[in-house]
Amino acid sequence: MRQVAVENFQEWREKARALVAGSVPPDDVRFTDGLQDSLFADVPMPAAGSRGRISVPRAFLARAEIVSLHRDPKRWDLLYRALFRIVNDGLSNEPDELLAMEQAVGRDIHKMHAFVRFRKIVEDDGQPQYVAWYRPDHHIVKHVAPWFAERFGAMHWAILTPDLSAYWDTKTLRFGDGVPRSAAPQEDELEELWRSYYASIFNPARVNVRAMTREMPVRHWSTMPEATLIPTLVSNARAREQQMRERAPGSAEPFVPVGAELPVLAAAVRACKGCELYACATQPVFGEGPERARLMLVGEQPGDQEDLQGRPFVGPAGQLLDRALQEAGVDRSSVYVTNAVKHFKFEERGKRRIHKKPDGGEVAACRPWLTAEIERVDPQLIVALGATAALSLGGREFAIQKERGRMMPLPGGRQLLITVHPSFLLRVPEAAKAAEFARFVQDLRLAS
């Protein structure tokens, strides 16, 4: 029996390839987690040209990488057995045990996305840091950390877990040793926000305690401030259900945590069901930019690329906006960029998803999110990019071409400037493109 130590998927992949190339049967090899593999050097290497390049379906590798995050030490052996069967017998169906592991890791990843709760601490230099302690079931910290870095890119944060800790300083992701629960701060001002957020998204019409404890396992409750609310919320459910029925339909308002900071809002919007648009989109797309930006740009809604990537203005219109901002001398990283509607509205035509303009009801339903962003960022000037943004911000229909390029007062001493949406510039006839682009740059220059 050969004992082969591996520390991560990449290492398993390289060693498993060598073993398969050497025709070492699964019964003759035992993988271990991170021990010394004194016998690995004995594995016969394939003679040059004896087997040639081993090719494995890409889908298997992707699934194997997920399975490799499972905590069960048997996972490496099971993966090797599956790999050996694929290469030697051409069998691609994976054993049930591997599929169960893949599902368990997938659930664990989903739960970590949903249940990590950052607590705010302030360092000596006044720079706020956010710290979360979490106990995942499997070795998923390195896998999920980039998701948090993207989602909470403007925050300095640390996610501490018993196995491994992840640190983000707004530029670089680093990993360090695991830490005990006692090393994470216990109470802070975010706790109240989370509680009020949870109370607002708690849907009494769907109280199902068994399902709730399955989705939010009791062992995570100690790290979740909102868990203390559950008994009270359940007992008040009937009265709240009645109130919800009486409330006017179609508003994000019950989902918006009052007075919350941007990262909390960005997390809360994921639970919004204020209108029907959440049902078909991949994810909501919240705004991005400095918390105290002086200039805010508001578009209509996320497009296809934004919906997939979860970030505003990253598709073709966003690239055009970047170019126009550059020509206008505006640094995009100093601007807060968002949309009037947070979910992508589209209709499917074959494989394509074609943009559909949100109607007035959807714009109104989503306005509480935009209002919350404006209150938190407190910009001096807001630029409405196109008619939908102008409707949401100005509360009426605007004739964009007639009213663009002049400042209008908004409540709170802010100014509103209306211009076209950059997607308009993509649609104008070729002959008019240069002139329209120049007008757009001129509007942005006025804003800056």
CA 317, 323, 325, 329: dihedral to nearest 10 degrees? 180
φ, ψ dihedrals at 37, nearest 5°: -105, 75
- Helix (H/G/I), strand (E/B), else coil: 335: strand
- Any idea which residue has 């992508």 for tokens? 344
Would you say 12 or 286 has its CB closer to ligand SF4? 286
- b/e sequence 237-252, b meaning 16+ C-beta within 10 Å: beebeeeeeeeeeebb
Query: Of 120, 343, 353, 404, which one interacts with ligand SF4 (CB under 6 A)?
Result: 343
| Both structure tokens of 234 | 């359940």
Least separation in angstroms between residue 250's CB and ligand SF4 is 8
Burial class (CB in 10 A: 0-12, 13-18, 19+), 379: buried
Question: Does 342 contact ligand SF4 by CB under 6 A?
Answer: yes
Residue 422 DSSP label: H
Long-range contacts of 215-218 (CB under 8 A, 24+ apart): 216/115, 217/111
What is the smallest separation between the CB atom of 354 and ligand SF4, expressed in angstroms?
18
Judged by CB under 6 A, which of 79, 260, 265, 272 binds ligand SF4? 272
Q: Is 4 helix (H, G, I), strand (E, B) or coil?
A: strand
Q: Which of 284, 259, 292, 115 is nearest to 190 (CA)?
A: 259
Choose the binding region for ligand SF4 from 35-43, 108-116, 142-150, 336-344 (rule: CB under 6 A).
336-344
Could you give phi then psi for residue 257, rounded to 5 degrees? -70, 125
Q: Could you say which of 252, 324, 387, 418 contacts ligand SF4 (CB under 6 A)?
A: 252
Any contact of residue 365 with ligand SF4 (CB under 6 A)?
Answer: yes
Inter-residue contact 244 to 208 (CB < 8 Å) = no
Count the residues of the shown chain that bind ligand SF4, applying the rule CB under 6 A.
16
Min separation Cβ 275 and ligand SF4, Å:
3
Residue 417 interacts with ligand SF4 (CB under 6 A): yes or no: no
Among 102-110, 275-283, 306-314, 322-330, which window interacts with ligand SF4 (CB under 6 A)?
275-283
Among 225, 274, 299, 303, binds ligand SF4 (CB under 6 A): 274
Tokens of 26: 């699964």
3-state secondary structure of 5: strand
264 belongs to the binding site for ligand SF4 (CB under 6 A): no
The residue from 275, 372, 390, 441 that contacts ligand SF4 (CB under 6 A) is 275
Q: Is 366 in the site for ligand SF4 (CB under 6 A)?
A: yes
Among 142, 195, 273, 445, binds ligand SF4 (CB under 6 A): 273
Regarding 323 and contact with ligand SF4 (CB under 6 A), the answer is no
Q: For ligand SF4, which is the closer residue by CB, 46 or 368?
A: 368
Which parts of 278-297 interact with ligand SF4 (CB under 6 A)?
278, 284
Tell me how far the alpha carbon of residue 439 is from its chain's centroid: 35
Token digits for 406? Answer: 């002049």
The correct pick among 144, 256, 260, 277 for binding ligand SF4 (CB under 6 A) is: 277
Q: Of 90-98, 209-217, 274-282, 370-378, which part binds ligand SF4 (CB under 6 A)?
A: 274-282
Q: List the interface residues with ligand SF4, window 137-196 (CB under 6 A).
A: none
Between the CA of residue 61 and those of 12, 17, 109, 140, 389, what are the distances in Å?
11, 12, 18, 17, 44
Site string (72-101) toward ligand SF4, x via CB under 6 A: ------------------------------
109 Cβ contact partners less than 8 Å away, ≥ 6 residues apart: 140, 143, 144
d(CA 249, CA 180): 45
| Angstrom distances, CA of residue 2 to CA of 29, 33, 71, 88, 265 | 5, 14, 22, 20, 53
> Which tokens hold the place of 225?
């401030």
Cβ closer to ligand SF4: 263 or 274?
274
| Helix boundaries (H) for 116-219 | 141-151, 189-201, 209-215
What would the two tokens of residue 255 be?
A: 């989902």
Figure out which of the listed residues 5, 20, 160, 269 binds ligand SF4, where binding follows CB under 6 A: 269
Report the residue number, 342 or 404, with the smaller CB distance to ligand SF4.
342
- Closest approach of Cβ 284 to ligand SF4, in Å? 5
**Minimum distance between the CB of residue 280 and ligand SF4, rounded to whole angstroms?**
10
Per CB under 6 A, the segment of 66-74, 173-181, 225-233, 365-373 that binds ligand SF4 is 365-373
Q: Which residues bind ligand SF4 (CB under 6 A)?
A: 252, 269, 272-275, 277-278, 284, 341-343, 362, 365-366, 369
